Amino acid sequence: MAAVTPLLSTRGLSKSFGGLRAVHAVDFDLPEGQIRALIGPNGAGKTTFVSLLCGRITADEGNVHFAGRDVTALPAHRRIQAGMAYTFQITSVFPRLSLHENIALAARRRLGHDREGVRAAVGHALDMVGLAGRANQLAGDLSYGHQRLVEIAMGLAQAPRLLILDEPTQGLSDSEISEFNALIRSIASETTVLLIEHNMQVVMELAEFITVLNFGEVLAEGEPEAIRRNPAVQEAYLGTAHA
């Protein structure tokens, strides 16, 4: 495994806001094809870390390599073009545009003027998240949970190499969560997934490997069972969660 170049890696990645070290010297490797969960208590720096990965905010120090090249200096849209897709923690769709147009925008950057191709990609993505047949509704008219699904569909329609999901199951019902789990497993053969998630059931069910952040640093990394048994993790995170 060590011989394989990871799809994504960071070295010494750091970001401070004022005096607060949100992310500090993080070394992180994500091999292609893995479903990786990123967990940690509130304020551990998870969203800041993935924002540094996809370029929404720029790093103070360190570098990010993606798909074999150094993307540290690239602006966000160039990193997305290189094959990352990002879904927002706080739902961010185009509320006054139809579902179809929301997802078409995601597909069109890749497919350009190919109208048929875009239509097929939109239909496929809506199918996958179970919103087929609602293509003409305005995204803003959907329930919160359905808007989360639109976000995920927008991610899928980009056919990314790396899909970054920031708390995707927040606000989903139990049945929607199990559908979400099935969906992620079904795309994992084509896409590497980095998942920030608070719902431990989802994490344990989906993740092949887990990275735990605490106070902006990597506290532990390992397979789900090892993480579950790790005393430091239990103290920092699971312990309080189960208290």
Partner 1 sequence: MTPTAKAFLLHGGLVLALVAGHFILPEYHQGNLARIMALAVYAMGYNVLFGYSGLLSLGHAMFFSAGMYGMGLSVQHLGFGAGPAFVCGILAGVVLATAVGVLALRTTGVAFMIVTLMFSQAVFLTILYFTPWTRGDEGFVIQPVDRMLFGIDLSDATYRYFAALVLFAIVMLATSRLIQAPFGRVLIAIRENEERTRMLGYDVYRHKLGAVILSGTISAVSGAAYGLLFGYVGASFASVQYSILPLLWVLLGGAGTIVGPFLGTLFMFYLIDLTSSITTAYMLLAGAALVLLTLFAPEGLAGSFRRRLAPWLP
Binding footprint of partner 1 on the chain (CB under 8 A):
54, 56, 76-78, 80-81, 86, 88, 92-97, 101, 104-106, 108-109, 112-113, 154, 158
Smallest separation (angstroms) from partner 1 to the CB of 97: 6
| CA–CA gap between residue 100 and residue 64 (Å, rounded) | 33
Shortest spacing between CB 41 and partner 1, in angstroms: 26
Residue position matching structure tokens 């008219």? 141
Nearer to partner 1, 93 or 218 (CB): 93
Angstrom distance (rounded) from CA 65 to CA 29: 9
Is the Cβ of residue 192 or residue 230 nearer to partner 1 in the bound state?
A: 192
Please say which residue, 49 or 86, places its beta carbon nearer to partner 1: 86
Give me the amino acid identity at 63: N
Q: Least distance in Å: CB of 113 to partner 1?
A: 6
Closer residue to partner 1 (CB): 96 or 229? 96
CB of 92 to partner 1, least distance (A): 5
Which residues pair with residue 98 across a beta bridge?
138
Which distant-in-sequence residues (6+ apart) come within 8 Å of 121 by Cβ? 103, 104, 107, 111, 157, 159
